[in-house]
Amino acid sequence: DQQVKQNSPSLSVQEGRISILNCDYTNSMFDYFLWYKKYPAEGPTFLISISSIKDKNEDGRFTVFLNKSAKHLSLHIVPSQPGDSAVYFCAAPRSNTGNQFYFGTGTSLTVIP
């Protein structure tokens, strides 16, 4: 069962514009979420996280928004840069252990120069 879902396999955005990547989850017990970025031939690298006690977390050009009632989170990248082209995964730890991460299927972002 896919507890974390990313329904858009790919997204293309012009350089300088906003990129919005979406993620939905089914388990209301999730209380922490992370975004990872993955370049080809590399492992995923941590980008930004958010606790369920917040509805927004910002780090430079990256902002994550959490809507608990809709079980939805989104990652905004403003302004988008060609170096942001990568696959983005959202993830949530299983609450009772905090260790097993559930990952979405990923969204491949292409930023067009």
Partner 1 sequence: DTGVSQDPRHKITKRGQNVTFRCDPISEHNRLYWYRQTLGQGPEFLTYFQNEAQLEKSRLLSDRFSAERPKGSFSTLEIQRTEQGDSAMYLCASSWASGSSYNEQFFGPGTRLTVL
Binding status of residue 109 toward partner 1 by CB under 8 A: no
Binding status of residue 4 toward partner 1 by CB under 8 A: yes
Measured distance CA(91)–CA(33) in Å, rounded: 6
Binding status of residue 69 toward partner 1 by CB under 8 A: no
Judged by CB under 8 A, the number of residues near partner 1 is 27
Measured distance CA(100)–CA(102) in Å, rounded: 7
Binding status of residue 28 toward partner 1 by CB under 8 A: no
Measured distance CA(47)–CA(87) in Å, rounded: 12
Q: Is residue 109 a contact partner of residue 11, using CB atoms and an 8 Å limit?
A: yes
Task: Give the one residue of 27, 71, 76, 103 binding partner 1; rule: CB under 8 A.
Answer: 103
SS3 82: helix
Question: What residue ranges bind partner 1 (CB under 8 A)?
Answer: 4, 6, 9, 32, 34, 36, 41-46, 49, 89, 91, 93, 96-106
